[in-house]
């Protein structure tokens, strides 16, 4: 379960800034990986709104969710890079490993 503490409730200004930056980074990497918020949510077994709250810096994931996020995004980025490499070499797109 995510930490459901609104950024404005108990966080310091610095903690709010860190949460917002982390959320912006999550969104950027998710988009780079070619995943929608719904696709990421389904793969890590959270609601799409949870992804949105993380990306807005309103919530932060717990350690288990953070590990799942890393695993899914790493795999998606690797698959995307492999597909790009295959296309640049004139090969058929390799199957997804997910």
15-36 residue pLDDT tens: 999 999 999 999 999 999 999 9
Structurally, the chain folds into a number of domains equal to 1
Within a domain: residue 52? Answer: yes
Within a domain: residue 3? Answer: no
d(CA 34, CA 8) in angstroms, rounded, equals 31
Burial of 55 (0-12, 13-18, 19+ CB in 10 A): buried
CA dist 88 to 80, 83, 91, Å? 12, 9, 8
* Amino acid 93: pLDDT: 54
* Amino acid 42: pLDDT: 98
CA dist 24 to 46, 51, 69, 91, Å? 18, 11, 14, 34
Domain range spanning residue 69?
A: 12-88
* Amino acid 96: pLDDT: 61
| Contact predicate 44/65, CB 8 Å | yes
39-94 residue pLDDT tens: 999 999 999 999 999 999 999 999 999 999 999 999 999 999 999 898 888 765 55
Task: Read off the CATH number of the domain in which 36 is found.
Answer: 1.10.260.40
* Number of neighbouring beta carbons within 10 Å of residue 16: 15
- Sole residue written with tokens 């890079």: 81
């Amino acid at each position: 379960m995510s930490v459901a503490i609104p950024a404005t409730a108990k966080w310091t200004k610095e903690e709010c800034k860190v949460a917002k930056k982390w959320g912006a980074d999550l969104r950027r990497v998710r988009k780079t990986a070619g995943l929608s918020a719904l696709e990421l949510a389904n793969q890590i077994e959270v609601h799409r709104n949870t992804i949105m709250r993380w990306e807005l810096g309103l919530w932060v994931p717990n350690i288990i969710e953070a590990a799942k996020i890393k695993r899914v995004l790493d795999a998606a980025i690797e698959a995307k890079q492999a597909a790009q490499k295959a296309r640049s070499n004139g090969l058929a797109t390799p199957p997804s490993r997910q």
